[in-house]
Structure 1
Amino acid sequence: MFEQLTQLVQQYGGSSVVNNAAIPNEQNEAVLNETSSSILSGLQKIASEGGVEQLASLFQGNSPIDNSNPVVQQLTQQLTGNLGEKFGLSTEASSGVASSMIPQILGSLVGKAKDSNDSSFQISDIINAISGNGGQASGIMDAISKYGTQFGLDQNGDGKVDVSDAMALGNKSGGIGGLLGKLFGK
C-alpha cells in the first residue's frame, strides 16, 4: 500500500511541493517521501488510539474529506510539524503543503478503494497497512460489524456481521474482501 500512497503523493505534489518557492528544489523528493510516511504513520496512530470509527467513516465516504474532517486535521497537523522539524520550513509553508495535499490524497485513496473498476487499492490492504495486521484490524472489523448491519451485510440474519457472514458473502463475492468491498461501496 505504501507504493500506491507514494504514487498519489507524487501525483498531487506538483503544485504543493515542486512548484512551491518556499521548498528548495533539492528537498522536493524528501518532502514528498515525508508526506507519504506521515500519512501512513498518522493513519496507524489514529487506529492505535481508538479512532477506528473515524477511519471507518472516512472510508465509507460518510464524512467530507476536507480540512473539517478530524482525520484530515490530525494528519495535517502531524505533517505540518514533521515538515517544519525535518526541513526547517516555516509553519506557513508546512501548513500550506499539508492542508492542500492531505485532502486530495485521502480523497483519491478513498475513491480508488471504493471504485470496483480500480484494483490498485483494496480496502483490506488499506486496513492491514493501517493496523499493521495486529489488534487494530479486529477493532476496525468491530466497527464494520457495528455498522455493517445498516449496509445489509448481515447475510445470515443473526443481527451481527461476523466471519459466517463473510463466508456466506464469500460464496457470492470473495469472502472478507467481498464483505469489506460491499461495506465500502465496491
Structure 2
Amino acid sequence: MFEQLTQLVKQYGGDAVVNNAAVPNEHNEAVINETSSSIFSGLQKIASEGGVEQLAGLFNGNASIDNSNPVVKQISQQLSGSLGEKFGLSSSDASGVASSMIPQILSSLVNKAKDPNDGSFQISDIINSISGNSGQASSIMDTISKYGMQFGLDQNGDGKVDLEDAIAVTKSKGGISGLFGKLFGK
C-alpha cells in the first residue's frame, strides 16, 4: 500500500512541493517521501489511539475530507512538524504544503478505495496496513458492531454484529474483503 500511496503523493505534489519556491528543489523527493510516511504513520497512529470511528467516517464518506476533518488535521499537523524539523521549512510554509496536499491525497485515496472499477486501493488492504497485527482487530470489530447493523452485517441474524458474524463472512463468498466492502459501501 505504501508504494501506491507514494504514487498518489507524487501525483498531487506538483504545485505543493515541486513548484513551491519554499521547498528547495534538492528536497522535493524527500518531501514527497516524508508526506507518504506521515500519511501512513498518521493513519496508523489514529487507529492505535482508538480513532477507528474517525477512520470509518473518512472511508465511508460520512465526513468531509477537508482541513476541518480531524483525521486531515492530525496528519497535516504531523507532516507540518516533520517538514519544519527535517527540511527547515518555516511553520507557515510547512503548514501550506500539508494543508494543500493532505486533503487531496486522502480524498483521492478514499475515492479510489470506494471505486469498484479501480483496484489500486482496497479498503481491506488499507485497514490491514494501518492496523497491522496489533490489537486493532478488536477496535475495528467494535466499530463494525456499532455501525454494522445499518450496513446489513449481521450475518447470523442474532441482532448484533460480532466475531461470529466475521467468521461467517470469512467463510462466505467475498471473505473479509466482502465484509469491509459492505461496511464502506463497496
Measured against the shorter chain, the TM-score band is over 0.9
Inter-CA distance 163–119: structure 2 relative to 1 (3 Å threshold): farther
Q: Output one character per residue of 1:140-174: Cα deviation in whole Å (capped at 9) or x when no partner.
A: 23211210101111122212223443454457641
Q: Output one character per residue of 1:106-156: Cα deviation in whole Å (capped at 9) or x when no partner.
A: 101111111111111111111111112211133123211210101111122
CA contact (8 A) 2:17 2:32 kept: yes
Which structure 2 residues correspond to residues 67-106 of structure 1 after superposition, within 5 A? 67-106=67-106
Question: Is structure 2 residue 134 aligned with structure 1 residue 134?
Answer: yes
Which structure 2 residues correspond to residues 108-127 of structure 1 after superposition, within 5 A? 108-127=108-127
1:17 maps to: 17
Distance between the aligned counterparts of 1:167 and 1:132, measured in 2? 19
After superposing the two structures, state which structure 1 stretch, 137-146 or 108-117, moved more: 137-146
Which sections of structure 1, spanning at least 5 residues, go unmatched?
none
Question: Is structure 2 residue 46 aligned with structure 1 residue 49?
Answer: no
Which amino acid counterpart does residue 112 of structure 1 have in structure 2? K
Please state whether the residue corresponding to 2:92 is helix, strand or coil.
helix
Cα offset for 1:27?
0.4
Distance between the aligned counterparts of 2:23 and 2:102, measured in 1? 17
1:3 maps to: 3
Percent identity of paired positions between Structure 1 and Structure 2: 79
Which structure 2 residues correspond to residues 20-39 of structure 1 after superposition, within 5 A? 20-39=20-39
CA contact (8 A) 2:141 2:163 kept: no
Cα offset for 1:49?
1.1
Which sections of structure 2, spanning at least 5 residues, go unmatched?
none
CA contact (8 A) 1:128 1:137 kept: no
Question: Is structure 2 residue 152 aligned with structure 1 residue 152?
Answer: yes
- Aligned residue pairs total 186
Please state whether the residue corresponding to 1:89 is helix, strand or coil.
coil
Distance between the aligned counterparts of 1:132 and 1:71, measured in 2? 19
Cα offset for 1:78?
0.5
Cα offset for 1:45?
0.9
Distance between the aligned counterparts of 1:115 and 1:73, measured in 2? 25
1:177 maps to: 177
Distance between the aligned counterparts of 2:153 and 2:145, measured in 1? 9
Please state whether the residue corresponding to 2:158 is helix, strand or coil.
coil
Distance between the aligned counterparts of 1:145 and 1:55, measured in 2? 15
Distance between the aligned counterparts of 2:171 and 2:66, measured in 1? 37
TM-score (norm 1): 0.94
TM-score (norm 2): 0.94
Please state whether the residue corresponding to 1:67 is helix, strand or coil.
coil
Distance between the aligned counterparts of 1:10 and 1:100, measured in 2? 13
